[in-house]
Structures are given as structure tokens and as C-alpha cells.
Amino acid sequence: MAVLRKCARPMLASAFVAGGLSTLRAPERVAPAAEPVAVPVASRVPRLPEDPEQLVRINGAVHVGAGLLLAAGIAPRLAALALAGTLVPTTLAGHAWWKEKDPEQRAQQRTQFLKNVSLMGGLLITAADTHGKPSAAYRARGAAASGRSSARRARRDATHTLRDATHTLRDATGTVRGATRGATQSVRGAADHVRALPAQAQQAIDKHL
């Protein structure tokens, strides 16, 4: 898969680099077609110029820069996403086939429109490519599942510890009770023995008289 990516990325980027260079060399050729879409978009985005030639020159520069990054495999996901974003106004402005009256021109523009849609699909797949590594969402779900599992284990351990402590307390209580009973019986035996001493002494005196 690594070799496939190294070959596929320059192939996907080639159309954008070539088209971007062409636009940078002669922006006046595509500015009239881009004006109906580019100018309204620029009016809604701060700091973007409203001059059509400057807008198509910026778009061409993005195509060249992001295309070269994609081809070199440098931040390929961000580069693919940037190209996909710029491809939308480019396609709408340059290949509005539904506006063409001539059947031949209409068919030609529809083909170019569908070509750009296909390129956008490839760019979106590239933007979602994680190089075989788990995505951030997958890692987040795994971390959440691991956290829930750890919490369940902690609850089980705490429950077992509490049960063990309860059993230990019960055993200690039983031992104390047993010791108390033994001590009570010993005290009673000693008391009985003490009470019996005067009678035994009297019997001994009677025997000697």
C-alpha cells in the first residue's frame, strides 16, 4: 500500500499542478468565466480580493502548492482537502454545462464537470486515508471503551475489597465474642472457687477438733 500511495498521489496531483501553473501564467483567460462564481464567494470571505484575475491567481497558487505537497506526500490529507475545497468553485465556474445551448459544447462541459467530480471523489478518499492507522474517532472510541472497562474493574475491585473487609470484621467480632465468653466463664469459676473457700476451711477446722 505504501508504494501504491507514492505512485497514486503524484498522478492525482498532476492535473492540479498543471492547471494551476497555466492559470498563474495567464489568469486573464479564465477570469471572465470565474467571475460569476468567484466574486460572490469573495464578497462573503474576509480579506479576499474581489478582482477576478487576483482570485483565479490565488486559486491557481493553491492548486500548485497543495498539488506539490500531495505529490511529495507532505501533509497529504490536508493538501487533498484544500484541493477539494478549491475544486468546487472552479468546477461551478468553468464547467456549468447546464448553461450551454449548443449540444456539442454542452456535452463537452458535462464531461469536464464529471471529470472534476471524479477528481473530487479521489481527493476526499485521500483526505480520509489514515495510512492503515486507526482514525482519531476510532482511537477516541477505544479510549472511551478502555476507560469504561477500567471503571468497571475498579468498581469490582472496590466491591471485593469491601466484602473482604466485612468478612474480616465479622471474624474479628466473633473472636472478640468468644474471648469475652471465655473470660466471663473463667471469672465465674474463680468466684465460685472463692465462695467455696470458707466452707472448705471450716471443714478442715472441724476435722482437727
pLDDT at 150: 76
Tell me which of 195 and 115 has the higher pLDDT.
115
Coil, strand or helix at 45: coil
In degrees and rounded to multiples of 5, residue 167 shows phi and psi of -65, -45
Note the pLDDT tens digit of each residue in 149-183. 777 887 888 788 878 877 777 877 777 677 777 76
Note the pLDDT tens digit of each residue in 195-205. 666 666 666 66
* Reported pTM: 0.59
- Residue % of the chain over a pLDDT of 70: 80
Say if residue 81's pLDDT is above 90. Answer: yes
Q: Where are the domains of the chain?
A: 2-133, 148-209
Across residues 88-100, what is the average pLDDT? 85
| Exposed e or buried b per residue across 91-106, where buried means at least 16 C-beta atoms within 10 angstroms of its C-beta | bbbbbeeeeeeeeeee
